[in-house]
Amino acid sequence: MSKKNVKIQVVIIGAGASGLMCAIEAGKRGKTVLVMDHQPKPGQKIRMSGGGKCNFSNTHVSSSHYISSNPHFCKSALNQFSQWDFIRLLEKQDILYEERDHGQLFCKNSAMDILDMFLGECEKWGVSFLFNTAVDKALHLPEEGLFHLSTAENDYFCDSLVIATGGLSIPGVGASPFGYKIAEKFNIAVLPVRAGLVPFTLHLEDKETLSQLSGIAVDATVLTGKKQFRENILFTHRGLSGPAILQASLYWNPGDQIILNLLPEKNLFEIFKQVQKKGSKKAIKTLLAEDLPKRLIQALLEDNLAEKSLQETSHRQLKEICEKLQAVTLIPCGTEGYRTAEVTLGGVDCNEISSKTMEARHIKGLFFIGEVLDVTGMLGGYNLQWAWSSGFCAGKNV
């Protein structure tokens, strides 16, 4: 069967958060829009986000919550379409949401409320979809002012091409390097990528000590370099996870150490001294068990220290105990990689993209949005907000 030539104004590759937002805004402007995706369904990461409740944004969004080689790049898009603009969208559709710790915003019912809203808007504005479709070849035809996309079924010609294909995180839902390959094909720099918001794995010696704590979560601070995060950490059979660890992974580099404080609000040495003065005969482990799981105490303290009463413990030994619990120093073996990473750090160089429109500076009609760009948000709804904001800007300019 011979292939057809299909002419359309805007083709968006990627039916995720940024691609859907872009499609709606372009459709509102009367553009003919086609969204292509090699997956069978749209919005895979929207469905998964927030444990199915979609952590869609945060009340505290600012450029300080994003990592990029161009730290000012995200400001324009976040100003053009803020978290408050997204909230207004939800309220207009009577979608219930709630604010949780640290300003995180979630759907009250289901992530599907947001996905259904987007798909309904796409239908309203005449957006077409093509799923299970891979682009075999992409060419720029500058003389005609067109892009040529070749698929197994047809050849597509468009005025504007939007790359919304995400990063490499969570390959199980279709992550691929397609966007980076397109950028390189058009001589747009791609900065080195790595997994972010991802659990740490540990070296064998540390794993033997800590893997027995698998399933235990404690409130802690995690220090990596000059960055410190306070929230839960979770011990796993392979290493460390939990919100504070995921945040730290954004700033950690191979070979760096991390320092855990498992009692972040306490001056443990002073507490020990005060209890000691009162003549308490409590064992060290009994006192610590008021704040920490017993299994954790057993794993980190030798029996000869843990079993002692405060009365028979010297100040030097008390300081040693404090260090073992409030300055646990580890050098992770690595991370669990893209398989479980929530985001990809690095990507298409923002210096080659307009911060106002998301259009490539040297190729008219070519746009990059969402996670494929070198913009990575911290944990807490910031990455989806970047998807909405960057998609909005491109949709207004395709």
pLDDT digits (tens, 9 = 90+) for 118-145: 999 999 999 999 999 999 999 999 999 9
CB 78 within 8 A of CB 50: no
Q: Where in the chain is the domain with CATH 3.50.50.60?
A: 4-195+345-395
Distance of CA 240 to the CA centre of its chain: 17
The pLDDT of residue 172 is above 80: no
Among 79-83, 86-90, 202-206, the minimum mean pLDDT is found in 202-206
Section 304-328 average pLDDT: 89
Main-chain dihedrals φ then ψ at residue 201, nearest 5 degrees: -105, 155
The pLDDT of residue 219 is above 90: yes
Q: What is the pLDDT of residue 376?
A: 98
The pLDDT of residue 267 is above 90: yes
* Interatomic CA distance for residues 77 and 84, integer angstroms: 13
Section 58-84 average pLDDT: 98
Q: What is the pLDDT of residue 296?
A: 95
The pLDDT of residue 176 is above 90: no
Section 174-190 average pLDDT: 94
Q: What is the pLDDT of residues 86-95, one digit of tens each?
A: 999 999 999 9
Q: What is the pLDDT of residue 276?
A: 85
Question: What proportions of the chain, in percent to the nearest 5, are helix, strand and coil?
Answer: 35, 25, 35
Residue 326 tokens read as 């409030």
- Domain 4-195+345-395, CATH: 3.50.50.60
Q: What is the pLDDT of residue 310?
A: 83
Q: What is the pLDDT of residue 282?
A: 83
* Interatomic CA distance for residues 66 and 72, integer angstroms: 9
Residue 215 tokens read as 């399933």
What is the sign of the dihedral through the CA atoms of 183, 184, 185 and 186? positive
The pLDDT of residue 281 is above 90: no
- Indicate the fold that domain 199-335 takes in CATH: Elongation Factor Tu (Ef-tu); domain 3 (2.40.30)
Indicate the pLDDT class of residue 11, thresholds 50, 70 and 90: very high
CB 223 within 8 A of CB 259: yes
Indicate the pLDDT class of residue 1, thresholds 50, 70 and 90: low
Indicate the pLDDT class of residue 279, thresholds 50, 70 and 90: confident
Of 226-235, 270-279, 281-290, highest mean pLDDT:
226-235
Smallest CA-to-CA distance from 34 within 23, 47, 42 is with 23
* Whole-number average pLDDT of the chain: 95
Section 149-155 average pLDDT: 96
Q: Where in the chain is the domain with CATH 2.40.30.10?
A: 199-335
* Interatomic CA distance for residues 385 and 65, integer angstroms: 11
